[in-house]
Structure 1
Amino acid sequence: MSQQAARSEDVTLPDPDEILLAVRDLDAGYGDLQVLSDVDMDVGDGEYVVIVGPNGAGKSTVMKSVFGLTTYMGGQVVFDGTEISRRSPDQIIHEGIGYVPQNENVFGSLSVRENLEMGAYILDEVPEDQIERIYDRFPILRERSTQKAGTLSGGQQQMLAMGRALMLDPDLLLLDEPSAGLAPDLVTEMFDRIDKINDDGTAVLMVEQNAKEALRRCDRGYVLVQGQNRYQDAGETLLNDQQVRQDFLGG
């Protein structure tokens, strides 16, 4: 049986008919190493959900498991009514999920535009209208469209990685530590861009090291500890919970 995450009675959970992603009793890891045990998690249609917790808690493993990049050991991952637990990343992309890993998330030897085109590789032809929408969302990418991605700044590479993941207009965007390695003055800008992506209708599931800022902005949050659910609640509620702050947010 899964370990029920502690939550307040008044937290607003997604309506069952509006759950886009449902993770149930998930056991997963790498090879013979089990990292996640009985993890439960929901993302509603258009919702913004954040996973926080200490280093080594299994946060990134949840994201990779949803995207088919770990060893599946049990439980279910259901997306938009379809079980995807045993599917490959190529198959999962077709279902409407985009994923931005924390590291090595651009093709450094390719230009900015070529990176965006790679985001639409499953299509017969590159959707020019979608590239234009990405350029409108991230104007710096238009300015640097012919520049090699490996020569971009860290913040620009993160924008490019998100832009590539958005090329297929996914229903759910998975973001793994999007502010990692960014200069402090760029972190707020990155969060603002993620807010806008969510405001435009894309559901977001994000792992983030800047837990306080992420919880301020999200709809709901999960606290993961040693590969298991510990707390779930509205972002602001978790942020203001004295026990959560003391144990996981630095007071």
Structure 2
Amino acid sequence: MEQTTTHDDDTDADSRTDHLLDVSALDAGYGDLQVLSGVDLHVDEGEYVAVVGPNGAGKSTVMKSVFGLADRMGGSITFDGTDITDLPPEDVISVGMSYVPQTENVFPSLTVGENLRIGAYILDEVPEARRQAVFDRFPVLEERVDQDAGTLSGGQQQMLAMGCALMLDPDLLLLDEPSAGLAPDLVADMFDRIDQVNDAGTAVLMVEQNAKEALRRCDRGYVLAQGENRYEGRGDELLGDDEVRRQFLGG
């Protein structure tokens, strides 16, 4: 039986209309293939939200739908009070949202500095303070500013991809599987850096294969299965839910 966990705090949150991001009854997919059915989720200002679930659950499709990269077949998406349901990605990025895809998220033949400039392509002039803020958060990027991105390690490329997304100082950062492909000893460091981004005030919506770590770190989480909402709640509550652990977290 499908179930969505609810809590008093979540009920109060859902009654508000001032969510930064509000996804309602979303049907989406690719061409004639429908992947998502009636998905609901929201992110509040400064909140850290994780979407987890088994392979094929539709997690990445949620992310791509929000950013205008999937075919939306029904439902609505609102960001900061503006309906963005039918906006293409180039317009979505202008409203205050940045997206880091799972793969092919940097230009390997361009330098670190050139990648960062491209990250801020919608600006006529890139404020030096913005670039320095990225370097302060990821010092290795400043050390390698003239190095081709393709010569960076996997972890460094992921930092560069996040740095590019932060060049526009977004209100919401979308992260699709940020730990994918990283060596185990780098995963905790990547999560620490995401924590720091969120602690600085940027809301985060993250799709993540490492469900236990994602739920341990986030404020709230959503569990998807077969393109539908199954569970929702605070991260620590989902981790402690016996049914969630049995069905989706390996016991």
Contact 2:27 2:34 in 1 (8 A): yes
1:38-70 deviation per Cα after TM superposition (whole angstroms, max 9, x unaligned): 000010111000000000000000000000001
For structure 1, the 5+ residue unaligned runs are none
Shift of 1:5: 5.4
Percent identity of the aligned residues? 68
1:122-169 deviation per Cα after TM superposition (whole angstroms, max 9, x unaligned): 111122110000000000000010000011000000000000000000
Shift of 1:18: 3.7
Shift of 1:7: 1.1
Q: Give the TM-score of the pair, scaled to structure 2.
A: 0.96
CA RMSD, aligned part only? 1.4
Shift of 1:11: 4.2
Report the equivalent of 2:6.
8
Contact 1:111 1:146 in 2 (8 A): yes
Runs of 4+ in structure 1 over 2 Å off: 8-15
- Describe how 1:1-251 pairs up with structure 2 within 5 A: 6-12=4-10, 14=13, 16-251=16-251
Shift of 1:211: 0.6
CA distance in 2, matches of 1:9, 1:214: 20
Alpha-carbon spacing, 1:55–1:11, altered in 2? closer, same or farther (3 Å): farther
For structure 2, the 5+ residue unaligned runs are none
CA distance in 2, matches of 1:179, 1:94: 26
Shift of 1:19: 0.7
CA distance in 1, matches of 2:71, 2:189: 35
Write the letter of the residue equivalent to 2:123.
L
Contact 1:11 1:234 in 2 (8 A): no
Shift of 1:10: 3.2
Q: Secondary structure at the match of 2:20?
A: strand
Write the letter of the residue equivalent to 2:130.
Q
Q: Give the TM-score of the pair, scaled to structure 1.
A: 0.96
Write the letter of the residue equivalent to 2:232.
Q
Alpha-carbon spacing, 1:135–1:65, altered in 2? closer, same or farther (3 Å): same
Shift of 1:17: 4.5
